[in-house]
Structure 1
Amino acid sequence: MSGFDLGNFQTLGFLGAAYPWVKAAHVTFVIFWIAGLFIVPRYYIHHQATTPGSAEDRAWIEREDRARTIILAPAMLIVWALGLMLAVHLGAFGQAWFSAKLALVVLLTAYQGWIGAYGKKLAAGQRDLEDKKLRLMNEVPGILTALIVVLVIVRPF
């Protein structure tokens, strides 16, 4: 086998020499995703104070839609794709720290689903949440992100 060392391939995992590049891309898109998860609910806090149907209301609807479609959705999909590639590469499935991390990422994904649903309610003129509750919901991605970072870096179990 000229130029191909099967032992080296197994040591490097299926990503081979691309592993650090995939990891760097994963971290970059995690940053984009979390930034979007922070900004869109913050937009909602300001949007909620507008009069339904007003020019300001329509401007917030457009901003929120752009953030969800240009930042949130693509970043989340890329994070998932690259993260699953990394998990396969590392053989992380079945490890307790990874199972916990995966559960938290699923919660972040569900949170993003909630963001989309609440954005549709705001666009329809509904203001279902009190400002205080909406502000508390804005803390969810920060808490989950901190827990995920601990699981990935410390691997406490």
Structure 2
Amino acid sequence: MVYVWIKALHVAVVLVWAGGLLAQSMVLSSLSRSPSDQSTLLANRLRRWDSRVTSPALLLVWTLGISLAVLGQSFGEAWLMFKLGLVIFLSGLHGIKAGILRGAVVSGKAPPSWTRWSPVVSSAALGVIAILAVAKPF
């Protein structure tokens, strides 16, 4: 019973984190194409949201995910190792994008051109993670 509740909470905070990650991606993509006062204002608001909501959600994603892997004795399974690799990648990407967002807001630096692809890369990785978590294909 406890496992099911931890899993439900894990899914809920993953949704919050994924939403923040995708919002980050979209704002940075927009800023890299055509920075404006309106997009800078949005970036500043997103930066506050990220520090108050998205980053704490990421901490809970990791805490609850590791708890689930331990309780379910899933460590060592190939699907989980692949999923963990993608989660590590997205966690790092989140941190990198938070730094770029800070630079865009504080010093007005334009985001690098690769951030235009961030929404696609983030969405694809999140989709693969969801498939792995549900199907456990290998």
TM-score interval for Structure 1 and Structure 2 normalised by the shorter chain: 0.7 to 0.9
Q: Is 1:73 aligned to 2:58, yes or no?
A: no
Q: Which runs of 5+ in 2 are unaligned?
A: none
Q: Is 1:32 aligned to 2:13, yes or no?
A: no
Displaced runs of 4+ in structure 1, greater than 4 A? Answer: none
Amino acid of the structure 1 residue aligned with 2:119: N
User: What is the aligned length?
Assistant: 136
Q: Is 1:88 aligned to 2:73, yes or no?
A: no
Which of 81, 91, 102 pairs up with 1:109? Answer: 91
Q: How well do the aligned residues superpose, as a CA RMSD in angstroms?
A: 1.8
Percentage of matched positions with identical amino acids = 29
Q: TM-score, normalized by length of structure 2?
A: 0.88
Distance 2:40 2:98 in 1: 16
Which of 18, 22, 26 pairs up with 1:42? Answer: 26
Q: TM-score, normalized by length of structure 1?
A: 0.78
Which of 140, 143, 147 pairs up with 2:124? Answer: 143
Between structures 1 and 2, the one with greater helix share: 2
Q: Which runs of 5+ in 1 are unaligned?
A: 1-16
Amino acid of the structure 2 residue aligned with 1:39: A
Distance 1:80 1:121 in 2: 26
Which of 109, 129, 143 pairs up with 2:112? Answer: 129
Contact 2:3 2:68 in 1 (8 A): yes
How far off its partner does 1:120 sit?
A: 2.3
How far off its partner does 1:121 sit?
A: 2.3
